[in-house]
Structure 1
């Protein structure tokens, strides 16, 4: 029988770039390879099931989408982030979903921002983000940036 892993498993979510990477890392933590993929799938399913979007998200995205092309730019795992968007029924609001793993560079590196520019042609770009990596990466890419720490977008000055 496999032993309890010596390190906390949630740390694996930050390190693993893809589902196969996560499965491999779970195996390396002492979980039998035959169970590692099932374990990774359960982590994935639990993360998506726990995803909650604010009730006002749909209205805010609808309003923003009337004036702007919208994209998600995340350092999160690709299938996990897309799964969260789909589970929250938010995916239809976005013209592009770019993960740092798709690009091979993580925010605050400007390369993920460049990928958004390749996918969405616009006169200018702005990032509404909740982390220093969001704001610093946007500024490094020459974008406007706004730090968003919760509340409604209507509360944010124009």
Structure 2
């Protein structure tokens, strides 16, 4: 029954948006199923060899709403050199419609991961939302901050430069 529910949930999620995915664990290690171009991949596969910006947010976070324009601006400037993942922390599957509406309302361009069980938050020790984590191409944390997306340009430029070296 549980696997049937999971299959139905994943089917529903993939029908919402091609940029909307769900975080799960598998055999004790972190594994994040992604529906990208119809293929299932993991967070490790997505970020392997590419610098990434992780933005942890929730629908009811007023500070997150204020950060969305800055996130979209950074995406516009750096999406060719930096992987953007917007990780939603809402823990209620009933909020999927709210999340979809939020993505549309704020024109969120980053790939969205739904993490209702907070696996990624635990893994990255996220204290709350919004939290921004910048990873280098090796997957190491370069910067971890509570919000302040508009102040990350220098660190992003350095990560991109290191990527090209």
Q: TM-score, normalised by structure 2?
A: 0.23
Q: TM-score, normalised by structure 1?
A: 0.24
Higher relative contact order (CA 8 A, sep 6+): 2
Higher gyration radius (CA): 1
Greater per-residue strand proportion: 2
Greater per-residue helix proportion: 1
